[in-house]
Amino acid sequence: MHNRPIVGTTSCGAAFRQGAAVIKPSDKLKERIRVRGHGLSPSLMRVLEYMDAHRHEVMAMSAMELAAAIGTSDATVIRAVQAVGFQGLKDLRQAIASSLGAGQTPADTITRTVASIKEHSATAVDQVFADHRETFAALATEEARASILAATEMLSSAQKIGVFGIASTAFLARYFALSVNRIGRQTAVFDACMAPLPEQLLEMRGVDVLLMLAYGKPFREATLTIGEAKRLKVPLVLVTDSKDTPLARHAAVTVEVLRSHAGHVPMHATTLVCLEAMIFALTAQEPPRAISTLEKLGELRRSLCK
What span, in angstroms and rounded, lies between the C-alpha atoms of 110 and 93? 12
| Residue 272 CB coordination number (10 Å) | 15
Q: Which helix (H) or strand (E) holds 23?
A: strand 21-23
**pLDDT surpassing 90 at residue 207:** yes
**pLDDT surpassing 60 at residue 36:** yes
Torsion angles phi and psi, residue 120, rounded to 5: -75, 140
Query: What string of H, E and C letters represents the secondary structure of 154-197?
Result: HHHCCCEEEEECCHHHHHHHHHHHHHHHHCCCEEEEECCCCCCH
With b for 16 or more beta-carbon neighbours within 10 A and e for fewer, the 80-107 pattern comes to: bbebbebeebeebbbbbbbbbbbbbeee
| CATH 2.60.40.10 is held by the domain 16-115 | no
> In the predicted model, what is the mean pLDDT of residues 284-297?
89
Q: Which helix (H) or strand (E) holds 213?
A: strand 209-213
Half-sphere exposure of 87 (CA within 13 A, CB side): 3
Q: Which CATH number fits domain 132-304: 3.30.700.30, 3.40.50.10490, 3.40.50.300, 3.30.530.20?
A: 3.40.50.10490
> In the predicted model, what is the mean pLDDT of residues 73-98?
87
| Choice among 33-37, 84-88, 94-98, 300-304 with the minimum mean pLDDT | 94-98
What span, in angstroms and rounded, lies between the C-alpha atoms of 113 and 130? 13
| pLDDT class of 59 with cuts at 50, 70, 90 | confident
What span, in angstroms and rounded, lies between the C-alpha atoms of 222 and 213? 9
The residue among 272, 282, 264, 273 whose CA lies nearest residue 171 is 272
How many DSSP H helices and E strands does the chain contain? 14, 7
Higher pLDDT residue, 60 or 233? 233
Single pTM value for the model: 0.64
| Choice among 14-18, 119-123, 283-287 with the minimum mean pLDDT | 14-18
> In the predicted model, what is the mean pLDDT of residues 121-140?
79
What residue type is 130 in one-letter code?
A
Q: What was the pLDDT predicted at 14?
A: 34
Same fold, 16-115 and 132-304: no
Domain ranges of the chain: 16-115, 132-304
Instruction: Say if CB 238 and CB 248 are below 8 A apart.
Output: yes
